[in-house]
Every structure is written in C-alpha cells, then in structure tokens.
Amino acid sequence: MKEIKIHEVGLRDGLQMEPESIPTITKIQWAESLIDSGIDILQLGSFVNPKVLIQMADTDELFEHFNQPENKPKNTILSALILNEKGLERAMKANVDMICLGVSASETHSQKNTRMSVQQASEKIINIAKDAISAKKQVQASVQSAFGCGFEGDIPEENVYTIIDKYLNAGIKIISLADTAGYANPAKVERMFSKIAQMDNNIELACHFHNTYGLGIANVYAAYKVGVKYIESAFGGLGGCPFTKVAAGNVSTEDILTMFQEMGIRKDINIKKIKSVSLYAEGFLMKELPSYTYKNNGIKH
C-alpha cells in the first residue's frame, strides 16, 4: 500500500466562502478534534488581508494558541497559506510548520486572485518560497486551476509543467496540483501526475480537488494510484475559491477516509472525530454539508 498523508484544509479553504465570521474559540474546538483524529497536516488559516477574507482575521491568534507548549500538536503539522511577502513575515513570526503557496495556470484566475499575471505571480511566489526554504521551513507550492479554469475552460498542460519546472529549479520538492474549478477527471489526473513524477526523482506530489461535478473522490483515487502522497480535503466537504466562476466544496475528508479505510489504508485516523466536527459545523452554519459520511450513522463509522 502506498503511503498517503491527509492535509485537512477545512479551517482555511472550507471557511473562506462563509459570509459570517466564526468565533476563534469555535475554530479552536474544531481544530482540537481534527488533531485528535490523527490527521497528518492541519491548515489553520491563511495570512491574508482580513478585510478581504474576514474568516482569516484570526489566523495569527490560532497559531499563537497552538504554539503554546500545552497545546502544540505532537503528531500533526500545522500549515498556512500565504500569498505575498507580508504573509511570509507573519507566518515566520507565527512559527508555521508548513508554508503553502501557489500560482494559477490561468491568466484570468491569476488576475482575479492576485491582480498579477501568471509570470508576475510565479516570480513573486518563487522568491518567497526560496526565503522560506532558507529559513528551514517545509514548503509546498501548488499550481491552481491546473486542470481547467471556470473562466477560460481548458488550460494547456504545458503551461502547468512550465510552472512546475520553475518550482523544481527553485528547490521546491512538495508540488500540488489544485483543481480550483473542479474540471479534473481521473484520466487527466493520472496523465498529469505521472508526467510530473518523471520531472524529478525527489518530488513529493500533492492533490487538491473540488467537487464541482461530483468527480472529486474518483480524482483522489486516480491520484493515489499514480503515487500522490499528500491529499488535501475539508471536513464536511466545505469550501470553494471565492475568485473562481463556480465555487464548489472540497472533497470531504471523511468521505476520502471512508474510501481508503475500506481499502485497508490509514485505519489509524479516527473518522468519528472528523464527523463530529462536520456535525458541529452543520449546526453552527445552519446548513447541510455536502459530505456523505457524516450523515451516515451506520455501524462502519
């Protein structure tokens, strides 16, 4: 069985579309349950302008809490998303374990998300990544809209490989393909990740799928088959990029784990604890979440 790592992004990607701010104490309670479940990486938030994304206004406070010796997770890496130099400065001050950043392969999405061209964004993000690597931080770089764009449609695969080649030349070894618009399909997932795996012997691959057209879990399985190690997902299937045309939720963490555990993989992670967060979030947000597993009170989980 291939090794996989679960990277839970619900507290960041999952909440960034919500119109009202979630109290910090509630986020801490959710984070504690997710950590107790045994997941490998937890994304606490993003260091962005709180006026743009109010849900991320307390990211510094969350890291301050979980960096206290009595609260520091023993077996879970804490990650955060950054977009610029100011974000890196805040992430370094907050002692983030893993720094995540990315560039869109779509010119339209790049402009809407960062107000920069793909070339400009690539140069900026790579320079930031180099600084983070120099500071001995674990760094993951993604290519957003890697499988297609809600505004532009298909994105030439060579555009994605060009960005990844720049990442590798900068010394970045954890590379993620993010299906921001939900355009991926299993055949394309297998083809692109297989191609990327051949670009560097030391590369570690990550995937991030949205469930826009219901193909999310099929795409996760396709990625797993070709050796993708890090799988990003969100409790309850929450989420969506506010800068894409159709914002759909992430693939549900508990649904992914149900699939893998039925296959005999990662049975060490406690799905019940993740389901408890989804149920809490459903009541708090007063809406049904797209996950299937958290609604199932059967004997399996």
Q: What is the residue whose two structure tokens read 């400065």?
A: 89
Does residue 172 lie within any of the structural domains? yes
- Domain holding 262: CATH number? 3.20.20.70
Most confident residue range from 47-61, 114-128, 256-270: 256-270
- What gap in Å lies between CA 210 and CA 3, rounded to an integer? 22
Contacts of 25 (CB under 8 A, 6+ apart): none
What digits encode the pLDDT tens for the residues 172-197? Answer: 999 999 998 889 999 999 999 999 99
- What gap in Å lies between CA 60 and CA 58, rounded to an integer? 5
Q: Which of 100, 149, 207, 241 is catalytic?
A: 241
- The question of whether 241 is a catalytic residue gets the answer yes
- What gap in Å lies between CA 42 and CA 100, rounded to an integer? 12
Res 248: pLDDT: 57
Query: Which comes out higher in pLDDT, residue 7 or 104?
Result: 7
138 near 174, Cβ under 8 Å? yes
Does residue 301 lie within any of the structural domains? no
Count Cα atoms within 13 angstroms, Cβ side, for 181. Answer: 21
Q: Which of 149-153, 240-244, 245-249 has the lowest mean pLDDT?
A: 240-244
For the whole model, what pTM was predicted? Answer: 0.94
Could you count the other beta carbons within 10 Å of the beta carbon of residue 287?
12
Closest by CA position to 81, among listed 47, 41, 31: 47
Does residue 261 lie within any of the structural domains? yes
Could you tell me what percentage of the chain is helix, strand and coil, using 3-state DSSP and rounding each to the nearest 5?
45, 20, 40
Does residue 300 lie within any of the structural domains? no
- Supply the range of the domain harboring residue 158: 5-295
Say how many domains are in the chain: 1
Res 299: pLDDT: 45
Banded model confidence at residue 90, pLDDT cuts 50, 70, 90: very high
Does residue 54 lie within any of the structural domains? yes
Closest by CA position to 141, among listed 114, 172, 109, 111: 172
Does residue 74 lie within any of the structural domains? yes
Q: Is 172 helix (H, G, I), strand (E, B) or coil?
A: coil
